[in-house]
């Protein structure tokens, strides 16, 4: 049974990868990047200061704000905490 679920999982990952490569993720990560930058500026923090609060580097914050690389969820959780925000991720049925 495990052998059957593995190809299914692979197909799911392949579909996700195709969507990411195709740029289908752009709106989602751009929205997060904008919110991080807006909140950081509203709190008067530099990228370096935010990075120090999150335990990451200034270049990682810059990449996130540019949309250069999708952030990991644990990184987003640390950023949300440093910016005194709640991280909310939703799954909404299509067409809803």
CATH at 54: 1.10.260.40
Give the pLDDT of residue 91: 85
Q: What is the pTM of this model?
A: 0.69
Domain assignment present for 76? yes
Domain assignment present for 34? yes
67 and 34 Cβ atoms separated by less than 8 Å: no
Domain that holds residue 34: 2-82
Q: What is the pLDDT along the chain (96 residues), one digit of tens a residue?
A: 444 445 555 666 676 666 666 655 567 788 889 999 999 999 999 999 999 999 999 999 999 998 877 788 999 999 999 999 999 988 889 886
The count of structural domains within the chain is 1
| CA atoms of 23 and 12, how far apart (whole Å) | 17
Give the pLDDT of residue 48: 98
Domain assignment present for 91? no
Domain assignment present for 87? no
Domain assignment present for 95? no
| CA atoms of 56 and 36, how far apart (whole Å) | 14
Domain assignment present for 24? yes
């Amino acid at each position: 049974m495990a052998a059957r679920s593995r190809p299914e999982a692979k197909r799911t990952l392949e579909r996700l990868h195709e969507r990411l490569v195709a740029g289908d993720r752009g709106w989602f990560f751009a929205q997060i990047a904008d919110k991080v930058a807006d909140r950081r500026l509203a709190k008067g923090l530099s990228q370096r200061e935010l990075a120090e609060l999150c335990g990451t580097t200034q270049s990682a914050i810059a990449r996130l704000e540019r949309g250069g690389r999708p952030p990991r969820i644990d990184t987003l959780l640390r950023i949300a905490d440093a910016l005194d925000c709640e991280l909310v991720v939703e799954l909404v049925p299509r067409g809803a």
